Structure 1
Amino acid sequence: MLRTMVFVGSLTNLTDARYAAGMGVEYLGFVVNAALPQFVEPTLYKNMAEWLAGVKLIGQVGAATPDEVNALLSQYALHGIATTNPETAAYASEHGLEVFLTIKGTEILQPATAAFLAQQQPNAAYFILENEEDNSPLNDQEKEQLRLLATAYPLVLGYGFDAQNVCSLLDALPLSGIALRGGGEEIRPGFKDLSDLADVLEQLEAAD
């Protein structure tokens, strides 16, 4: 078992998905909004989902509206969604889906962020903090703010760590989990370079 909750998103192939599931990852995310990069069309998703057991499948929908998500639910069998849209988070929560509400990590130092988290907490099982532009280590100010926020809210960190520092960061901060990315193309079915994903997961497993 892994030492913390892990969400692996942007999965596009069965190799990554089965590896993550086998390592004990609880949540697997697939982009189901055709307007976003790494989109997984319904037939491919269904084919992959049939091979996955004991995990929760999360549809990554970006800023899709509640109506758009309602349409997607007729095409994808999902346990939950990951969204940047608070209205969609509320809609999904009301319909019994587990919700990951994604916010920009660059906003954690802004005074309004704590109020936003408090307002949205009834709708979100977790808040994913992402920073696609920068994965450099967190500075002391960011760590302190994360410590304060993570004490009150279920934060999942998606940046600022790698295999070398992930365990020490989890020891220092009361995070609810971390978010990783899969994606990329298979060399051929069943063969893919898993190095980045595997390095972090193996560190977490070894720390148990």
Structure 2
Amino acid sequence: MALKTFVKISSVNNLSDARYCSGMQVNLMGFCLEENNKNFISPEKFKEITDWLSGLEFVAEFEHTHPERILTTLQDYPGISHIQIQEEIHLKMLANTSYGIILKQQVEKIEDIEDLIKKAASYNDFQVTLLLVTDSLQMDKDVEVQIKTLAEQCQVLLGFGIDAAHVMETIEKTGVKGIEMAGGDEIKPGLKDFDELADILETLEIED
């Protein structure tokens, strides 16, 4: 069993979702390591969940934590291979570590994507993967074109505009590396619940 595209699952907070996604052979599984977040996973819970999993890599997800604090925190989470952050100013302090870096960026208008395109070469030089999310931007032809331009210059994961009926079409039109969806009980635009996540993964599944 394998998937037709690269998939990251974020905010995983329970074993059943984690085991399902692992069985579907997603590539990356993200865990929130910020204590004030409702999806926070303690070191004990992280071990409890990940001891059951194999064949995928784990992402430590942060929003505003300082890089020094991030690196200290990760000492309690063996097995993490990627760090996801939202503060671009923190990139320089983490770029030369052994971790893969994902920069989550909120894009609320098409100009936000255009601004990222101007910095795409730098992201590529530092091997930073961009994760695009939104609360308001709709996926239309103009947005697809801008994302495609961005994806031609650096690695991009798409975190919006995804549904089971059109997921492969969207990936092909935008040229992104893959997609991101939320696990746990988080509700996101375009992702109503875990059942929809499962529908998308089953759509992406390569039949034997």
The change in CA–CA distance for 1:93 and 1:108 in structure 2 (over 3 A counts) is farther
1:129 matched to 2:137: no
CA contact (8 A) 1:92 1:98 kept: no
**Aligned ranges for residues 1-208 of structure 1 at < 5 Å?**
1-77=2-78, 78-106=80-108, 108-110=110-112, 111-131=114-134, 133-134=135-136, 137-184=138-185, 194-206=194-206
Poorly superposed stretches of 4+, deviation over 6 Å: none
Q: 1:101 to 1:107 in 2, by over 3 A?
A: farther
Check the 8 A contact 2:116/2:150 in 1, yes or no: no
**TM-score, length-scaled by structure 2:** 0.87
- 5+ residue gaps, structure 1, are 186-192
Inter-partner Cα distance in structure 1 for 2:63 and 2:148: 26
1:128–1:155: 8 Å Cα contact kept in structure 2?
yes
* Count of paired positions: 199
Q: What is the alpha-carbon distance in structure 2 between the residues aligned to residue 47 and residue 183 of structure 1? A: 16
CA contact (8 A) 1:7 1:180 kept: yes
Using the aligned pairs only, state the percent identity.
26
Matched letter for residue 203 of structure 1: T
The 10-residue stretch of structure 1 (156-165 or 103-112) with the greater mean CA deviation from structure 2 = 103-112
- Alignment root-mean-square deviation, CA: 2.1
| More displaced 10-residue stretch of structure 1: 119-128 or 46-55 | 119-128
